[in-house]
Amino acid sequence: MHKITKATLALHDLGRCLIAERHLSAIRIISRGLVCAQHGDDYKKNEVYDVIISGGGMVGSAMACSLGMDPNLEGKKILLLEAGNKKVMDEVPDTYSTRVSSISPGSATLLSGIGAWEQITKMRCKPYKKMQVWDACSDALITFDKENLQDEMAYIVENDIVVAALTKQLDSLSENVQVKYRSKVVKYTWPMPHQAAESIPWVQVTLANGETIQTKLLIGADGPNSMVRRNLGIPTVKWNYDQSAVVAVLHLSEPTENNVAWQRFLPTGPIAMLPLSDTESSLVWSTSHRLAEELLELDEESFVDAINSAFWSNENQSELIETAGSVFRGALSAIMPFAGSPRQLPPSVAGIGPKSRVMFPLGMGHASEYIRHRVALIGDAAHRVHPLAGQGVNLGFGDVACLTQLLSQAAFNGKDLGAIQHLLEYETERQRHNLPMMAAIDLMKRLYSTNSCSCLCVRWWFLQKLDMYPPPKSRMPTVLLVLEYK
């Protein structure tokens, strides 16, 4: 029943975004921003910005750079507020950080356009050309690659390096973008959506040090527990998965070219090994909370054994699926002798980086509205996904590209940046992109979290079919493992 309710809500979201949006605009414009404003004349004394971005993680920092570099926004007052310290990196540390992201070529293009990608590649970044995904319960396998194996499929980059590169770029944009670190927002006061005597004109932001500032447009980039989203009372479909991700830096048994990302679906959840260098990879092992806790408690040798066995062991293979599979494969290979990819073997692991084992509870969340009067949500503040498809921050960078383009156009046309018309366009465009992707990721998580025979068959068929028919595979938006935002 619980699942049905969630699914209904998710479908409601999807439907909401697909209905003829423009016809609904008028109603939505009126209905947004109905959170009560507090007022007084104090606001008149406070500094007014054109745009304030709340939250300087990977997505908020990229947003600040992107706005700061846009020629149409020159002269606008832009401020980035980050609760944490400034993340400078004078030298790249010898050891790898445990938090890494798979950055799609689309995101790399965005980061390149805002001057951060060059910094990232100078610091540390590992491209990979192929991804092999296979099921622990059968022989089914799919290989994702670019047709000619010349181009990179995606890049593994440490999150700290992405933020450090963006921070450096923000330093060089200090004339266009002001940044306040260690500046936690503790209160927001919202204006009314229509002219009212008792309404303040702009969004009012109060910092922990007592300072109050105002903005014509607030961009909430404050992560999955977004205070902006919660304070506005934006309805959010969310649930915690019964899983946590254990991450660690892995030392490989021997040096290899290491240009393949590996992911195996175990009955308890997916385990992924992402390349960092010729000798190191990054582990993202999504599993039950109980097993995750046990994995953290293991001594290093047993932990390494558990990883190797998770990638190599055949103990979960189902005889029934195997038999059905080999009959199907036999029939297919008779008609398509060259179908399917050759199976490669993942590298074996010899050790882990010191103190690199950490776990994160996993969940999914989607704000049914990305905007309100003078407010837009981006990144995890608007949507949070399971890491199995490596899409979280890529979706966020897609938000940045879309919102920048619409704000730039608004500025060019001399429009108010906080006006709801172009914010609605942002919401429509991004929800149309993000929702199907999120639904596919959630479906994938559910399909691979069961041992029921019918699901095993669907899984086997799904991977096998995708691997044998290259055209759908290279048009992956239909599935989820595409690593590009459109």
Ligand X SMILES: Cc1cc2nc3c(=O)[nH]c(=O)nc-3n(C[C@H](O)[C@H](O)[C@H](O)COP(=O)(O)OP(=O)(O)OC[C@H]3O[C@@H](n4cnc5c(N)ncnc54)[C@H](O)[C@@H]3O)c2cc1C
Residues that bind ligand X (CB under 6 A): 54-60, 81-84, 101-102, 184-185, 221-223, 227, 245, 247, 284, 360, 379-380, 387, 390-394, 396
Q: Is 238 exposed, middle or buried (0-12, 13-18, 19+ CB in 10 A)?
A: middle
Choice between 292 and 456, CB closer to ligand X: 292
CB of 118 to ligand X, least distance (A): 20
H/E stretch holding 266 reads strand 260-266
Tokens of 322: 């195997």
Lookup result for tokens 């010898």: 94
- Our CA angle for 31, 224, 5, nearest 5°, is 65
Q: Helices 392-412 and 58-69, interaxial angle, to 10°?
A: 30
CB of 80 to ligand X, least distance (A): 9
Nearest to 418 by CA among 217, 228, 204, 193: 217
CB of 391 to ligand X, least distance (A): 5
Choice between 58 and 179, CB closer to ligand X: 58
H/E stretch holding 329 reads helix 319-335
CB of 18 to ligand X, least distance (A): 24
Choice between 59 and 67, CB closer to ligand X: 59
CB of 383 to ligand X, least distance (A): 8
Strand partners, 51: 78, 217
E strands, 267-345, are: 269-275, 280-288
Nearest to 130 by CA among 110, 109, 151: 151
Check if the beta carbon of residue 87 is closer than 8 Å to that of residue 425.
no
Choice between 104 and 176, CB closer to ligand X: 104
Choice between 221 and 237, CB closer to ligand X: 221
Choice between 325 and 390, CB closer to ligand X: 390
Tokens of 176: 């266009």
Choice between 80 and 411, CB closer to ligand X: 80
Lookup result for tokens 């414009």: 29
Tokens of 433: 């992109």
- Phi-psi domain of 337 (left: phi exceeds 0; alpha: psi -120 through 50; beta: other): alpha
Which residue type occupies 100?
V
H/E stretch holding 222 reads none
Check if the beta carbon of residue 303 is closer than 8 Å to that of residue 295.
yes
Check if the beta carbon of residue 96 is closer than 8 Å to that of residue 353.
yes
Choice between 81 and 219, CB closer to ligand X: 81
Closest residue to bound ligand X by CB: 57
Choice between 54 and 189, CB closer to ligand X: 54
In order of 218, 288, 443, 453, the CA distances from 266 in angstroms are: 42, 11, 16, 15
CB of 328 to ligand X, least distance (A): 32
Choice between 81 and 200, CB closer to ligand X: 81
Choice between 60 and 269, CB closer to ligand X: 60
CB of 405 to ligand X, least distance (A): 19
CB of 89 to ligand X, least distance (A): 16
CB of 468 to ligand X, least distance (A): 27
Tokens of 42: 């104090």
CB of 358 to ligand X, least distance (A): 9
Spacing of C-alpha 310 from chain mean position: 25
CB of 447 to ligand X, least distance (A): 20
Give the gyration radius of the chain's Cα atoms.
Answer: 24
